[in-house]
Amino acid sequence: MIILPFGPVPDQPSVESTTAPKRKAATEVTINTAESFLRMGLEIQQQQRLLKYRYRVHPDPEPHLYVRLHNARVAIEEHLVEFRHLQQFYMPQLESLLPWDVRRIFYDYHEGENVALFLPSELLDRQQRNNSCVPGLAELEAGLRDIEVQDAQYQIDLLTIKVSASAHILKKTVADLKSRDKHQSYLNKARDRRALWRSKQKYAEEAAEILRS
């Protein structure tokens, strides 16, 4: 259990407020804390990672897929607006410590999958990190990154089993072209998903190392 050295942001909307049903009881509304702020950032990074992958795989998407990709991009941009708002409370000095050319585009959310969040781990200079964040924020992110590494390893292990099983089945379906295509597609998707989890794991490991340096 992580004990936070600071409380929730007063009178701020819930992280879930943009999507929560209006009938939701007041007692169920999520309270913004440093941990929920960081988790929101980690989730945005994951959505950015997935969307960049999908654009790379589908550089010229069909109309129906284009709409889905566009909607995913809009959703990221909307979350970035809320994230930047909360960032003012948990990283109050960040903007003033960034170079002018970065400050100029700090609130530009165009192509949200490419927008830098400037979480503590993205500030390579330790002094800048300490001056930008409320006390304990970097340590809290390091703990969340450790959890990301463990979760990613679990998913990697599962997908490795699926990849191995699919490859084994594929060898037995040489004569059945339709079945072979189906299993080849499944195998390719499993490999791609595993590669994404490995990318996330590597990023989390590097982020934790930076935060503890």
pLDDT in tens, 93-118: 999 999 999 999 999 999 999 999 99
* Torsion sign across C-alpha atoms 79, 84, 85, 86: positive
pLDDT in tens, 58-73: 999 999 999 999 999 9
- Cβ–Cβ < 8 Å for 191, 149: no
Does 29 have pLDDT greater than 60? no
pLDDT in tens, 31-55: 679 999 999 999 999 999 999 999 9
What's the confidence (pLDDT) of residue 183?
75
What's the confidence (pLDDT) of residue 23?
39
What's the confidence (pLDDT) of residue 130?
94
pLDDT in tens, 125-142: 999 999 999 999 999 999
Does 163 have pLDDT greater than 60? yes
Count of all residues that appear for the chain in the document:
213
What's the confidence (pLDDT) of residue 185?
81
CA distance 138 to 144: 10
What's the confidence (pLDDT) of residue 176?
66
Confidence of residue 6 (pLDDT cuts 50, 70, 90): very low
CA distance 211 to 142: 6
What's the confidence (pLDDT) of residue 93?
95
Cα 197 from chain centroid (whole Å): 11
What's the confidence (pLDDT) of residue 180?
73
What's the confidence (pLDDT) of residue 9?
44
DSSP string, 66-135: HHHHHHHHHHHHHHHHHHHHHHHHHSTTHHHHS-HHHHHTTT--SSGGG-----GGG--SHHHHHHHS-T
What letter would DSSP give residue 27? G
